[in-house]
A = this chain, B = another copy of it.
Amino acid sequence: MSKNKNNQPIWSTRIKKDSTNLYKKIGGSLSIDKRLFNEDIEASIVHVEMLFKQKIISFKIKNKIVWGLNRIKNEIVKKKFVYDEKLEDIHMNIEKRLFDIIGEEAGYIHTARSRNDQVITDFKIWLRKANNEIIKNLDMTINNIIKKANKNVETIMPGFTHLKNAQAVSFAHYLLAYVEMFTRDKKRFNSNLDSLNENPLGVAALTGTSFKIDRFYTTKKLKFKNPTKNSIDTVSDRDFVIDFLYSCSACAIHISRIAEEFIIWNSDAFKLISLNDKIVTGSSIMPQKKNPDPLEYLRGKTGIIFGNLFSMLTILKGLPAYLQTAKIVNFAEKNKKKLSELSIEEINRIEKKLTNDVLKVFDLKNSIRSKSSYGGTSFENIKKMIISYKKNKK
C-alpha cells in the first residue's frame, strides 16, 4: 500500500469486502463517469505541474506522475485499459493504475487536493465542453434559419393563434420566431458559462489548504477564468448542474414545438411543407410512405430531459451537508472540552489529513489561519473577501 510522506497510506478501497456487493449495486458510478477520464487526467497533470512550480513536489516526482498519467490516457484511448468495477468510479480506477505503474509516489497527486475538488473540477470541465458544443449548435441552427428565412420573405402561409382565426403571415416571419427562441436558449447557455468558468481546484475537502498552492496558475492552464471564491460554497455548489439541465429543458420545449409543427405541416392533410428525405424514414414495404421518425423522437426526448431536471432538484433538496456535525461535537463533549481547547493530537484524530507541515498549527485559530489558499477559510482571506463583496455590491 502506498504511503505519503507522512507515512500514511494514501489510498485504499473504501469498500470493505463484506459490503462489496451491496455497495457495488447501489453506489458504483463507473459506467457513467468513465467518460470523464480525459478531464480527470488533464486536471491531475495541471495540478502536479502547479505543485512542482510551487516547490511542493520535486521535478522527478512530477515527471513520473505526468508520464504515468499520459500512459494511462493512452491505454484508455486505445481501449487497452482494464476497468475494475470494484473500484467504484473512474477516479479510483485511474489512481490505482497509476500506483501499479509508478508505485508509491502516485500518492502525491493527492497533495493539497481532495476527492471533493478533484471530482467537481473534472465534472465542470466536462460540462463546460458540452455547454459550449450546444452553443455552437444553436449558432449554426440560428444561421441556417436566417438563411432559410431570407429565401422565404414573400412565401405566404396561414398563421394561427390558439383560439383565433388564421391570418396570412410570411413564412420568414414564422421562421424568425424560432431565431428569437433559440437566441433566448443560447443566452441561457452563455449565462451558464459564468459559473462553469470558475475553477474549483484547490479548495481541498472544504476549507482550503495550508500548502502554498497557486490557484491562478491551475485556473489559467485549465482555461477557467477565475478561481471560485469560497471553499465551503465550492464543495457543495451544484447550481451549475441544474442551470445546465434547466437550459436544456427550456431549449427542448422549442425543439419539441418546431418538430411537432413540422410533423403536422408535412402530413398529407396539410402539405404545407415537404421534409427532406434525410429526416424521414421509409420502408421497402411502403417506399412511398415517409415517416418523420427522427422528428417524433425529438418530441419524445423532452420528457426525458424534464425528468433529469427534477431528479437533480429532488436530490439537491435532500442533501444533508450537516449530518456529521454530530461527530466533532460529540468528540468534544466526551472529552469535556470546548472545541477551541482540543489538543493537536485530538484534532489529528479528527482530521487525519493534517500533514507535518502544520505541526506548528497548535490551536484551531492557527489551523484556520493556515488555510490561506485563495478561497480558503483563513481570517485574512475572509477580511479581504468582505471588502471585495462590499465594493462590488454585487
Contact = CB atoms under 8 A, between A and B. Distances in A.
Chain A interface helix/strand/loop/mixed: helix
Contact of A326 (B267, B289, B294, B309): B267
Interface stretch (A43-51, A124-132, A229-237): A229-237
Interface residues of A, number: 176
Nearest to A6: B151
19 contacts: A10-B152, A11-B274, A12-B285, A13-B283, A14-B144, A26-B297, A146-B386, A158-B325, A160-B328, A167-B205, A180-B230, A242-B249, A249-B313, A261-B321, A285-B352, A303-B317, A303-B318, A306-B314, A306-B317
A169 B339 CA distance: 11
A77 interface: no
A267 to B, nearest CB: 4
A150 to B, nearest CB: 5
Interface string A358-371: 00000011011000
Contacts of A269: 269-270, 325-327, 329-330
A239 B327 CA distance: 34
Contacts of A194: 187
A301 interface: yes
Interface string A313-356: 11111111111111111110100000110000001001111000
A15 B327 contact: no
Contacts of A260: 320, 322
A377 B146 CA distance: 15
Contact of A26 (B230, B249, B301): B301
